[in-house]
Chain A
Amino acid sequence: MNVALLLDVAAGGLLMGGLYALIAVGLNLQYGLMRVLNVAHGEFLMIGGYLTYMLHVHLGVNPLVSILVSGPVVFAGGMGIHALLFRGLLRLKRTQEELEANSLLISFGLLFILQNAALLLWSADIKGYQYLDRPLHVLGAVFPTNRVVAFGVAAMVTALLFVFLKGTLAGTTVRALMQDPVGARLMGVKVPRVHGLCFGLGVGLAAVTGSLVSMLFELTPFIGLPYTITALVVVILGGLGSVTGSLLGGLILGVLESLGVHFTAPDLRMVISYGVLALILVLRPYGLFNPLAPRPGQASQA
């Protein structure tokens, strides 16, 4: 077996995994924090992609620069949607299960609204543009330049998010709220405000991912859902509420998918993805990197 080829395939998967990580981190900020399962998460990726497409094709804005528009615009829109749709839900919830079920319903509605709005605005035609699609030679391997650039940007954005989460009091508050909502409320954390911020941040990251995806693939109003599912697999793989887990989980899934497809067929990509999900649920239901998972020999907190 050709080791160099395998490494090539794995590296290609890693590049894709960077995007998976970014969108999964965004979903985790919502689901890990609020148990709001936003199945419309991928729609925000789609919107980010179209924003970049419009800015690039109609106004000649560099796709990379367009991220500075798509991210903040969708972030603000996300905060608005949260205030409109989810804030009341969070206030009225009586149990965690009730919230998960209701948020699922609402976000399904949101999914259809956003998808159909995109159909009206941009039609069902496939849209795309060429950007940096010449080959790039890296250490003897060849990759499309745009994939390497997209990975680099994804890595940078993720790094910024880590600085925010680990290095600022606001970020520490977000992590605290993920780990123990009751504890956080007793510290005086204004929960609805932090939830809104994280929802905005989450869909903003999806939009940034969408801008990057638009450099690599063509757009339709329907590209969102598969990314939502991939993000969900990554969140469960890495551990609910663990941002580091989502990051590593994304990279791992990217590599596994790439190798799996290499040895089977491109059509089986989703099957591989679901296979990973099933395996992790059986073997490590708390995910690979969840700091909250009970350790062996450690009694649960009294």
Chain B
Amino acid sequence: MSVGVAAGQPLTDSAGPLLEVGGLQAEYGDIPVLWDLSLTVRAGEILALVGANGAGKTTLLRVLSGLLEGFLKVRRGTIRLRGQALKGLDPAEIVARGIAHVPEGRHLFPGLTVLENLKLGGYMRLARADRRASLEQVFETLPLLRDRWRQLAGTLSGGEQQLLAIGRALMQRPTLLMLDEPSLGLAPRLVAMVFELVGRIRAGGVTVLLVEQNVRQALALADRGYVLEAGRIVLEGRGGELLEHPKVKRAYLGL
């Protein structure tokens, strides 16, 4: 299996990073969960963020989306999207700047139909014609959703719900798509389908930040990856390199 860099996707910084996180420290109450975390996401790549449960992956995505509810606080650090500061903005403003987030647990609207869920994905796109075009595109990418458009989201299977969650995020026509554990709890056949979909989404010009516990498949698909442990980045590199790294092999691949 070929790993790492996909054809025609040079790993250069010619256009500058799409997303730049510097020195980020976040806390739950008084307990730090992210320590001096810095990372970059380059335009057009698939970046994998791997690590054990509780390493802070989900927290990082929540911070990036501005979902600072409850006890989560950002202490220090910078977040820039194409050089523009994102820290302190609320989720609506961050969505408007082109970051879509498919959260852990999907957070679909179970009592709304598939179509209504998708329409809400296009909520920010006020032009009706725009929304229609987005919808058509999502249906083309995920024909299954077209077949199920009248069904309530809560009655879909787990895999279908995951596809709907991704489709709903695509309705936002994001520049950066953040996926939090899209393969969690899915049968192997569906896991393969989700990873294949992520590849297709990138091919369509969307940059992907992929958080996964399925380390092997995530790193195999990704251009680059970061390994997160206890709120710190402990390793970074090309996906293929990380797969071969002794530490990754030992800790995450059981080799």
Contact = CB atoms under 8 A, between A and B. Distances in A.
Nearest to B117: A176
B111 A179 contact: yes
A188 interface: yes
Interface string B98-120: 00110101111111100011011
Interface in B52-95: 65, 67, 69-71, 90-92, 95
A282 B91 CA distance: 39
Interface residues of B, number: 36
B120 A173 contact: yes
Interface in A254-302: 291-292, 301-302
A188 B111 contact: no
A182 interface: yes
A186 B123 contact: no
A95 B95 CA distance: 24
Nearest to A193: B92
B105 A176 contact: no
A292 B70 CA distance: 23
A301 B101 CA distance: 18
B154 interface: yes
Contact of B67 (A173, A180, A182): A182
Interface residues of A, number: 23
A182 B92 contact: no
B120 A176 contact: yes
A134 interface: no
A94 interface: yes
Given A187-B121, A188-B91, A180 B107 contact: yes
B193 interface: no
A186 B166 CA distance: 12
A172 B120 contact: yes
A87 interface: no
A186 B158 contact: no
B144 interface: no
Contacts of A182: 67, 69, 103, 107
Contacts of B65: 186
B109 A185 contact: no
A301 B69 CA distance: 20
Contacts of A185: 67, 90-92
A94 B111 CA distance: 26
A191 to B, nearest CB: 8
Closest 9 CB pairs of A and B: A183-B107, A188-B95, A291-B111, A188-B124, A185-B91, A179-B109, A176-B109, A188-B92, A302-B185
27 contacts: A169-B123, A172-B120, A173-B123, A175-B109, A175-B111, A179-B110, A179-B111, A179-B112, A182-B103, A183-B109, A185-B90, A186-B65, A186-B67, A186-B91, A187-B95, A187-B124, A187-B168, A188-B92, A188-B172, A189-B123, A190-B92, A191-B92, A291-B110, A291-B111, A292-B111, A301-B110, A302-B105
